[in-house]
Chain A
Amino acid sequence: MQLSQRHQEYWNKNLVMTTVLMVIWVFVTFVIGYYARDVFSFNFFGWPFAFWIGAQGGLAIYVVLIGVYAWYMGKLDREYDVAEGDE
């Protein structure tokens, strides 16, 4: 079937959101990991910061990222009339 302009817009918004979340994901995982010895080695309530991110903070951020995506896409589905109905 032919997709409308609105459909294209929905997909583009999805791609933008996906990219934003992936940038955060890369930062938390790989940028903090790469500079774990220098920039991110400061003391954070007893933990070296990079250690804390690897053991707790990063994991919590991952949960939040996925939660935000699920919430945002649910909203987008309704806004663009592509939500699943009650058949």
Chain B
Amino acid sequence: MATQTKSQVQAAFFQTLKKAYSFYTGGFVAFVILLAIAEQMGLPRKWIGYIFLFATVGLYAGIGILSRTADIAEYYVAGRRVPAFFNGMATGADWMSAASFIGMAGTLYLTGYFGLAFVLGWTGGYCLVALFLAPYLRKFGQFTIPDFLGARYGGHIPRFVGILAAILCSFTYVVAQIYGVGLVTTRLVDVPFEVGVFLGLGGILVCSFLGGMRAVTWTQVAQYIVLIVAYMIPVIWLSVKHTGVPIPHVVYGKVLEKVTAREAELIKDPKELEVRKIFAERSAAAKEKLKDVPKAYQADKAAATNRLADLKAQNAPSEQIKAAEGAIPASVDAAKAAYARDAGLAARSGPPLRHAEAFPGKDDQARDINRKNFLALILCLMVGTAALPHILMRYYTTPSVKEARQSVTWSLFFIFLLYFTAPALAVLAKFDVYTLLVGSEFSKLPAWVAAWQKVDATLLSITDINKDGIVQLAEIVIGGDIIVLATPEIAGLPYVISGLVAAGGLAAALSTADGLLLTIANALSHDLYYKMIDPHASTQKRVTISKVLLLVVALIAAWVASQKPADILFLVSAAFSLAAAGFFPALTLGIFWKRANKWGATLGMLAGVGITFYYMAMTQPWLRRVFGVQSSIADNTWWDINPISAGIFGIPLGFVVIIVVSLLTAAPDKETQELVDHVRYPHLRGDIDTQAT
């Protein structure tokens, strides 16, 4: 065997993997079919949920245990022999989180064209990864992103700033994933949310605890297969139902035209106008009451009490009496909360959004602000994508620079499969709601409507506002997450597909959570402990410390998630702006500009993150409360940019500070300049070797 070259070994390994995962995919499909048959024969729904949860998590655990390792290169970078194709799949699963899987189509449903900023931003960022980072980081070939900052800029300070930035963006992100895991688990097996979080935590840990990057890689490939199958089946079914064509991507343009025509009808439909007018009136009345709450409370209480007395005197039916009892406000505070809620109904008094219209707005100025924020958000998401350490880390695991480049192509291809399906799903679901649900009678609502109303009223609630017995669009409140979760039921598919979709959401959240946990634990164990505190630690000790830290970080993140922190979605988006401003300038200039030095990079990273965070703290409602900011939001915004896109200020500032400070201080030494040459060429004869083993 000694005569075999590295590429022959790699080729044999690739064949083995291909066989194993083909077998796995076939087995998974057979498993779903068997469950579907069992369902027809009377297997209860509850059991289907349990089987899906334990079968998929058990499978990941099996892969995790088989991949256990104490070897340092296996633990940190999967032995650097993950073929481009499989690294692409693993990156796809690493990348697509619960938000992509469950939330994306819903965001597109609710925001129309604006939602495409997420689709474009979260894919186009891979162009930056491919052109500016992945091949060079692979050539550098160590274990973490702070590793590169430490080696390129010299000394502990840039590395330390890198560690802080990596933890800041990864931790907020991982909390959101564990939250997602908790939600899906709760839905699959009907346990309280806190129990779901810790059940899910078990699922996360079995994938990463024993085998680090090696185990995470091979479970992520398995998770990608589950999630893409789960996402595609209901959409294809829905497409066949509406268009007769099983490829929704090709044909939903025609459906979009129908949706647009229907929107035009609904915007001026007299019944719709009637409902919207009721909302406007209620909102106006509530705003009036809010001006003097105690007085309005007394008046309302007296009126409601009188009505109750009247009903009792007339011997009205008991449910009417009960309703009247419930209508009496309990206290001034309860009344105030109710008024505030009613005042918010103004949001429902406007006409429905035109799905295909770019940058809607009441005048040119509003449209312009809308467009500015759309483009700024795309830029922040793209640059943020190219700066998130858990993604960049994946490109350390390929066997060569060449495969690292190919691997980015495969990554984006596998991500593309899901992301170009989500807009189709949003349009198909909208068509169903606008044509089947709107205009139907309240007495004949489909069963899934009642079922989901009961599960969670924020996901779906329909009330007959104008009492005409017919559903108007304005009477429907939809939460984004339901689009993916309820599609199987909307399409009339068996329950087993609903279980499959939930398992797909679970796979998406677990895989991302694992990648993030590993990033944080490695930043602490490898960069902070080994590189900065105890450089003489044995490899055995380093792996053990990594595993312990992984467990600790996971428990802390699960505890935070179980507290249901406010504005979790904002925190995730904030992670992109912070990563973009913190890492991207320092990483790219480190490769493309030899003159960039330690002080430039350190101050540039701090300035980028600093201004991004400052802008968010001044303009985002939740952060403003946390920091007690008093001045008005309007005074604090710059060029009307939303806080989610704060990176738009941090990215250029990061670049400018690095360039100016580097030019004002001494050039990096010869060794550093040679390191830059080293990473620029896949192979130089007689060159240094920076690869860590």
Interface residues of A (CB under 8 A from B): 1, 3, 7, 10-11, 14, 18, 21-22, 25, 28-30, 33-34, 36-37, 41, 44-48, 50-52, 54-56, 58-60, 62-63, 65-67, 69-70, 73-74, 77, 82-87
Q: Which of A18, A30, A41, A67 is B131 in contact with, Cβ under 8 Å?
A: A18
A contact face: mostly helix, strand, loop, or mixed: helix
Q: Which of A50, A77, A87 is B6 in contact with, Cβ under 8 Å?
A: A87
Closest to B355 in A: A51
How distant is A33 from chain B, measured CB to nearest CB, in Å? 5
Contact of B674 with A by CB under 8 A? yes
- A48 and B127 contact, Cβ closer than 8 Å, known pairs A37-B367, A55-B420: no
Q: Is B358 a contact partner of A50 (Cβ separation < 8 A)? A: yes
Q: Which of A18, A51, A60, A70 is B356 in contact with, Cβ under 8 Å?
A: A51
Give me the 10 closest cross-chain CB pairs, A-B, nearest first. A46-B253, A54-B116, A36-B358, A55-B423, A70-B405, A66-B130, A86-B5, A47-B253, A82-B681, A67-B409
- A29 and B124 contact, Cβ closer than 8 Å, known pairs A36-B359, A56-B423, A66-B130: yes
**Contact mask B359-392 → A, CB, 8 Å, 1/0?**
1000000010001001100110010000000000
Q: Is A22 a contact partner of B131 (Cβ separation < 8 A)? A: yes
Q: Apart from A33-B371, A59-B419, what are 15 other A-B pairs with CB-CB below 8 Å?
A: A1-B684, A10-B681, A21-B127, A30-B378, A46-B254, A47-B253, A54-B113, A60-B416, A62-B412, A63-B409, A66-B408, A73-B405, A74-B402, A77-B683, A83-B682
How distant is B110 from chain A, measured CB to nearest CB, in Å? 15
Q: Is B405 a contact partner of A74 (Cβ separation < 8 A)? A: yes
Contact of B256 with A by CB under 8 A? yes
Q: Is B124 a contact partner of A58 (Cβ separation < 8 A)? A: yes
A7 to B420 alpha-carbon distance, docked (Å): 40
Q: Is A86 a contact partner of B6 (Cβ separation < 8 A)? A: yes
> In the complex, which residues of chain B have a beta carbon less than 8 angstroms from the beta carbon of A18?
131-132
Contact of B687 with A by CB under 8 A? yes
A69 to B408 alpha-carbon distance, docked (Å): 10
List 26 contacting pairs A-B, 8 Å CB cutoff, sorted by A. A1-B674, A1-B684, A1-B688, A7-B684, A14-B680, A21-B131, A22-B127, A29-B382, A37-B371, A45-B254, A47-B253, A51-B356, A55-B423, A62-B126, A63-B409, A66-B412, A69-B405, A70-B405, A73-B135, A73-B402, A73-B405, A77-B683, A82-B681, A82-B682, A82-B684, A86-B6
A82 to B400 alpha-carbon distance, docked (Å): 12
> In the complex, which residues of chain B have a beta carbon less than 8 angstroms from the beta carbon of A65?
127, 130
> In the complex, which residues of chain A have a beta carbon less than 8 angstroms from the beta carbon of B5?
86
Within 290-329 of B, Cβ neighbours of A (below 8 Å) are at none
Q: Is B358 a contact partner of A48 (Cβ separation < 8 A)? A: yes
Q: Is A51 a contact partner of B684 (Cβ separation < 8 A)? A: no
**Contact mask B256-267 → A, CB, 8 Å, 1/0?**
110000000000
> In the complex, which residues of chain A have a beta carbon less than 8 angstroms from the beta carbon of B420?
55-56, 59-60
Contact of B677 with A by CB under 8 A? yes
How distant is B280 from chain A, measured CB to nearest CB, in Å? 28
Q: Is A52 a contact partner of B253 (Cβ separation < 8 A)? A: yes
How distant is A6 from chain B, measured CB to nearest CB, in Å? 11
B contact face: mostly helix, strand, loop, or mixed: helix
Q: Which of A3, A30, A77, A86 is B677 in contact with, Cβ under 8 Å?
A: A3
Contact of B438 with A by CB under 8 A? no
Closest to B406 in A: A70
> In the complex, which residues of chain B have a beta carbon less than 8 angstroms from the beta carbon of A28?
124
- A77 and B127 contact, Cβ closer than 8 Å, known pairs A30-B375, A59-B416: no
Contact of B465 with A by CB under 8 A? no
- A37 and B131 contact, Cβ closer than 8 Å, known pairs A59-B416, A62-B124, A82-B681: no
Q: Is A54 a contact partner of B120 (Cβ separation < 8 A)? A: yes
How distant is B357 from chain A, measured CB to nearest CB, in Å? 8
- A66 and B127 contact, Cβ closer than 8 Å, known pairs A47-B356, A59-B416, A59-B420: yes
Residue of A50, A52, A67 contacting most chain B CB atoms (<10 Å): A67
> In the complex, which residues of chain B have a beta carbon less than 8 angstroms from the beta carbon of A1?
674, 677, 684, 686-688
> In the complex, which residues of chain A have a beta carbon less than 8 angstroms from the beta carbon of B256?
46-47, 51
Q: Which of B113, B402, B406 is A77 in contact with, Cβ under 8 Å?
A: B402
Within 225-240 of B, Cβ neighbours of A (below 8 Å) are at none
Q: Is B680 a contact partner of A11 (Cβ separation < 8 A)? A: yes
A55 to B253 alpha-carbon distance, docked (Å): 11
How distant is B655 from chain A, measured CB to nearest CB, in Å? 15
Closest to A45 in B: B253
How distant is B384 from chain A, measured CB to nearest CB, in Å? 14
A18 to B127 alpha-carbon distance, docked (Å): 10
Within 596-630 of B, Cβ neighbours of A (below 8 Å) are at none
How distant is A22 from chain B, measured CB to nearest CB, in Å? 7
How distant is A13 from chain B, measured CB to nearest CB, in Å? 12
> In the complex, which residues of chain B have a beta carbon less than 8 angstroms from the beta carbon of A46?
252-257
Q: Is B402 a contact partner of A63 (Cβ separation < 8 A)? A: no
> In the complex, which residues of chain A have a beta carbon less than 8 angstroms from the beta carbon of B127?
21-22, 25, 62, 65-66
Q: Is A77 a contact partner of B682 (Cβ separation < 8 A)? A: yes
Q: Is A69 a contact partner of B124 (Cβ separation < 8 A)? A: no
A85 to B255 alpha-carbon distance, docked (Å): 52
> In the complex, which residues of chain A have a beta carbon less than 8 angstroms from the beta carbon of B412?
62-63, 66
Q: Is B6 a contact partner of A66 (Cβ separation < 8 A)? A: no
- A51 and B116 contact, Cβ closer than 8 Å, known pairs A1-B684, A66-B409, A77-B402: yes
Closest to B413 in A: A63
Closest to B125 in A: A62
A22 to B131 alpha-carbon distance, docked (Å): 9
A25 to B131 alpha-carbon distance, docked (Å): 11
Contact of B7 with A by CB under 8 A? yes
How distant is B370 from chain A, measured CB to nearest CB, in Å? 10
**Contact mask B95-114 → A, CB, 8 Å, 1/0?**
00000000000000000010
Contact of B401 with A by CB under 8 A? yes
A29 to B684 alpha-carbon distance, docked (Å): 36
A58 to B125 alpha-carbon distance, docked (Å): 12
Q: Is B409 a contact partner of A70 (Cβ separation < 8 A)? A: yes
Contact of B220 with A by CB under 8 A? no
Contact of B249 with A by CB under 8 A? yes
Contact of B48 with A by CB under 8 A? no
A65 to B674 alpha-carbon distance, docked (Å): 30
